[in-house]
Structure 1
């Protein structure tokens, strides 16, 4: 995690706790000539635009006061969306019985991408039920082998 995202996380957590919201992710990226500081927030039944606005205003005041970013940037606060990223172990625990998309650093059973229902997460092992053509099987994926993970909408 970069220094900027660490500072922003420290500033953001008390704001979110006050509003009963959860920090899903922070991105600090350069796109073209512009820098973007993006916060993704959520709660049980999703966040609305008012909550995003309140967080943006409160965080913006603190960032202006502390001034940890030496150049111009755009601050964006939003919901992570229906296919929210799964990063922390707590995210995987909340995602049990939901559809997920997992990409691994190295192949497991010859595959690096798995999409299916997360059956369990226990002691660092994800168990996913995947369908391959007409067969349903389970795959065990060690947490430390997960490169990227998100909730998935399967049609």
Structure 2
């Protein structure tokens, strides 16, 4: 079964369930790492995600996947939270985390740097806009960014 298909099936199964529990799906991946396959689902909610939340989603998803059986090979199921240095994947993440400090890792250098940290201004015309102390306001096309993530700030 194709990777995309498994991801779509999981999202279709889980979306209504997590909504009824005031959670959202941040990401679904079906990946091969070494000899193993992983079905990795990242969930989030307003309050911090608990182990109980992960167990609840895992139990439900396992039951549903057993019924539908969309995955032919063996795999490990992981339900996780995005963590404090969460990756920004969806366009809505750039709206949700405006004003927070983020780090961009780039495919190629930009003004001599492969990683740039700054305060997120937003996503404008598919460009990530940040305010950086040294460089001021920077706009970098999303296509040039290999990773965008929140940065933990210590007071």
TM-score by length of 2: 0.87
Name 1:148's counterpart in structure 2: 147
Q: The residue matched to 1:120 in structure 2 has which SS?
A: strand
Once the two structures are TM-superposed, the CA of residue 81 in structure 1 deviates from its matched residue by: 0.6
Q: The residue matched to 1:85 in structure 2 has which SS?
A: coil
Q: Which moved more, 1:75-84 or 1:137-146?
A: 137-146
Query: Which 5+ residue runs of structure 2 have no aligned equivalent?
Result: none
Residues 47-82 of structure 1 deviation map (CA, whole Å, 9 limit, x = unaligned):
111111111111111100010110111111111111
Q: The residue matched to 2:107 in structure 1 has which SS?
A: strand
Once the two structures are TM-superposed, the CA of residue 101 in structure 1 deviates from its matched residue by: 1.2
Q: How does 1:126-145 map to 2 (within 5 A)?
A: 126-131=128-133, 135=134, 137-145=136-144
TM-score by length of 1: 0.87
Query: Which 5+ residue runs of structure 1 have no aligned equivalent?
Result: none
Whole-angstrom CA distance in 2 between matches of 1:91 and 1:126: 11
Do 1:24 and 1:85's aligned partners in 2 also have CA atoms closer than 8 Å? no
Q: Which moved more, 1:117-126 or 1:97-106?
A: 117-126
Q: The residue matched to 2:148 in structure 1 has which SS?
A: strand
Match status 1:98 vs 2:100: yes
Q: The residue matched to 1:57 in structure 2 has which SS?
A: helix
Whole-angstrom CA distance in 2 between matches of 1:120 and 1:75: 33
Q: How does 1:1-155 map to 2 (within 5 A)?
A: 2-131=4-133, 135=134, 137-154=136-153
Aligned residue pairs: how many? 152
Do 1:15 and 1:59's aligned partners in 2 also have CA atoms closer than 8 Å? no
After superposition, the CA RMSD in angstroms is 1.9
